[in-house]
């Protein structure tokens, strides 16, 4: 769907993000908003947790009451509507169940990024919360774990048994090259993209960014395979454009990815 400078003719995909806030701006809601905006979408949020964190680590977490999470969802959906949903950090079993309750009535692409551990190593989901992921996976269109998260969820077959697509992100693998893979619910590998590993610490928020880019492409109406490729390329470009901030795992440069685009086609063709 081509971009137009005339706002009266412009169609903007509406992406609802259910996730935690990162005060350092590298991951979570902040990375999600930057990504959705860079890809031409409108980001709406239901914040599940407020974290005090930076590039070095997570220093404190305050969970939002489940009823407030649901109130945020109802407020934006009832007025603005949505074209796709991205789910990230949930923080508690109660928030997971409230989210799943709402997903029961959703007829739109749902991307679930099962956030468990921050890039810094901080634990963002206890065992009971992870157990609550089961219901959400049954309702999601696609689940996007990294390799440690995939192992914690029981592996490829266990995730696919919920009837969702699966994207295995290869960033935590070994070697000079990494591979991201897309699987259908039947277990068929639909797409695979290989790329060299970047020698950088500016990788804070890669999972959040990937899932939000995927949700935005799906919101634009892209088939799952094409949306997968858009998300992979967006993350790699955002890593290359990282501004080099902080003393630890720094944020990426989502705001600069648009410089790679052809203005005549952006964001409809997403030639990443």
Alpha helices in the chain (DSSP H): 28-38, 66-79, 93-103, 127-139, 147-152, 156-160, 206-219, 224-240
CATH number of 14-147+202-260: 3.40.1190.20
Question: Average model confidence (pLDDT) for the chain?
Answer: 89
Peptide bond into 267 cis (omega under 30): yes
Query: What per-residue confidence (pLDDT) applies to 184?
Result: 98
**Active-site residue, 208 included:** yes
Residue 73 CB contacts under 8 Å (≥ 6 apart), including other chains = 16, 18, 46, 102
Query: What per-residue confidence (pLDDT) applies to 122?
Result: 57
pLDDT bucket at 100, cuts 50 / 70 / 90:
very high
pTM (2 d.p.) = 0.91
Of the given ranges (2-16, 110-124, 208-222), which has the lowest mean pLDDT? 2-16
Query: What per-residue confidence (pLDDT) applies to 10?
Result: 63
Catalytic residue among 88, 208, 250, 270: 208
Catalytic residue among 20, 169, 219, 270: 169
**Active-site residue, 205 included:** yes
Catalytic residue among 40, 171, 207, 250: 207
Query: What per-residue confidence (pLDDT) applies to 159?
Result: 97
- Residue identified by tokens 């090259």 is 177
Q: Per-residue pLDDT tens for 229-259?
A: 999 999 999 999 999 999 999 999 999 987 6
Parallel, antiparallel, or unpaired for β 84-87 and 110-112? parallel
**Active-site residue, 155 included:** no
Q: Per-residue pLDDT tens for 52-83?
A: 999 999 999 999 999 999 999 999 999 999 99
Of the given ranges (3-7, 137-141, 154-158, 181-185), which has the lowest mean pLDDT? 3-7
**Active-site residue, 169 included:** yes
Q: Which of 235, 260, 237 is nearest to 27 (CA)?
A: 235
Catalytic residue among 203, 209, 216, 253: 203
Query: What per-residue confidence (pLDDT) applies to 267?
Result: 44
Q: Which of 258, 248, 222, 230 is nearest to 121 (CA)?
A: 248
Instruction: Give the start-to-end residue ranges of the domains of the chain.
Output: 14-147+202-260
**Active-site residue, 86 included:** no
pLDDT bucket at 260, cuts 50 / 70 / 90:
low
174-182: long-range contacts, CB 8 A cutoff, minimum separation 24: 180/228, 180/232, 182/224, 182/225, 182/228
**Active-site residue, 216 included:** no
Highest mean pLDDT of the ranges 129-138, 240-249, 255-264: 240-249
Query: What per-residue confidence (pLDDT) applies to 5?
Result: 52
């Amino acid at each position: 769907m081509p971009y137009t400078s005339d706002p009266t003719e412009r169609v903007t995909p509406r992406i609802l993000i259910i996730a935690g806030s990162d005060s350092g701006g590298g991951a979570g809601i902040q990375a999600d908003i930057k990504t959705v905006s860079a890809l031409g979408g409108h980001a709406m949020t239901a914040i599940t947790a407020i974290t005090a964190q930076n590039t070095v680590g997570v220093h404190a977490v305050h969970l939002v009451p489940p009823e407030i999470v649901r109130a945020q969802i109802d407020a934006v959906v009832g007025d603005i509507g949505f074209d796709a949903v991205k789910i990230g950090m949930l923080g508690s079993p109660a928030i997971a169940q409230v989210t799943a309750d709402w997903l029961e009535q959703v007829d739109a692409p749902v991307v679930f990024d099962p956030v468990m551990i921050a890039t810094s190593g901080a634990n963002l989901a206890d065992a009971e919360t992870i157990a609550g992921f089961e219901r959400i996976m049954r309702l999601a269109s696609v689940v996007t774990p990294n390799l440690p998260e995939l192992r914690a969820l029981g592996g490829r077959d266990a995730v696919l048994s919920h009837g969702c697509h699966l994207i295995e992100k290869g960033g935590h693998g070994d070697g000079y090259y990494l591979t991201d893979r897309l699987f259908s619910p039947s277990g068929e590998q639909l797409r695979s993209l290989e790329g060299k590993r970047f020698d950088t610490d500016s990788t804070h928020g890669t999972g959040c960014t990937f899932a939000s880019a995927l949700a935005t492409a799906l919101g634009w109406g892209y088939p799952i395979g094409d949306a997968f490729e858009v998300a992979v390329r967006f993350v790699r470009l955002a890593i290359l454009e990282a501004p080099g901030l902080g003393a630890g795992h720094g944020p990426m440069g989502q705001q600069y990815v648009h410089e790679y685009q052809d203005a005549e086609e952006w964001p409809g063709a997403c030639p990443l």
